[in-house]
Structure 1
Amino acid sequence: MVTGALALLLAPAALVGSATHAPIAWAGFWGISLLLGILASVIGNALWNRASRVLPLTLVGQMIVFETVFALLYGFAWEMRLPTPLELAAIACLLVGVLWCAALHAEAK
């Protein structure tokens, strides 16, 4: 509800002004939006459903960490920079935790 209210607050700013974009810019925008929508929604959802059926419940919970890691990677790409050493250490801790959990599950079998 708050998101919708914020969008309505910002709508007049989008309607006022003379800034226009070239048709090629719009084509690029729609192409990237479509590609991201298909990859993130359809394929990502299918992979998540498959993993949920195959993996133990405690290991499926660990897979949520990858959402955070990829969000960080997208953020770094957006900012056109590499992660700082502290950010790399945090990402490494997240991944080591998942690998540790997977190793414990492998030993249990």
Structure 2
Amino acid sequence: MEDLEETAVSKVARGSALLVAGQMVSDIIATVAFMFIARALTKQEMGLASVVYFISALGIIISGAGVPTTIVRFISEARGREEDYRPFIMAGVMGQAILASLCSLV
């Protein structure tokens, strides 16, 4: 039993490290790209690009609305109870699609 717990902990730690590394690489690429874009645009164009970026980032945040985190929780609970978790996947996809559609209308 203890060996199983150690394996689970090591998998979680490895997965977390990969997520952090991936996010860091993504942030570095975004920063470098932003630096090149800032050099290539005028002040007015950069201001417009910043507003467009802000609006798109806000839309992405709102369209998520916690759905992915909620779905992970419900799927994990269903798997722990050895129940069918596929309805939660479908609900998550549909919820995400509806929220994204509503955000695109704005």
Q: Which residue of 2 aligns with 1:97?
A: none
> Which consecutive residues of structure 2, in runs of 5 or more, have no partner in the other structure?
1-5, 69-95
Matched, 1:52 2:69: no
Is the Cα contact below 8 Å between 2:38 and 2:46 reproduced in 1?
yes
Which of 67, 79, 85 aligns to 2:67? It is 79
2: distance between equivalents of 1:71 and 1:24?
Answer: 33
In the TM superposition, residue 36 of structure 1 has moved relative to its aligned partner by 0.8
In the TM superposition, residue 32 of structure 1 has moved relative to its aligned partner by 0.9
2: distance between equivalents of 1:32 and 1:77?
Answer: 21
Structural RMSD (CA): 2.8
In the TM superposition, residue 30 of structure 1 has moved relative to its aligned partner by 1.2
2: distance between equivalents of 1:68 and 1:24?
Answer: 37
Q: Which residue of 2 aligns with 1:35?
A: 22
2: distance between equivalents of 1:30 and 1:67?
Answer: 29
TM-score when normalising by structure 1: 0.50
User: What is the total number of aligned residue pairs between the two structures?
Assistant: 70
Alignment of 1:82-93 (within 5 A): 82=97, 83=99, 85-90=101-106
Structure 1 segments of 4+ aligned residues over 3 angstroms from their partners: none
Greater helix fraction, Structure 1 or Structure 2: 2
Question: What amino acid is the match of 2:13?
Answer: W
**What's the % identity of the aligned pairs?**
11
> Which consecutive residues of structure 1, in runs of 5 or more, have no partner in the other structure?
1-19, 91-109
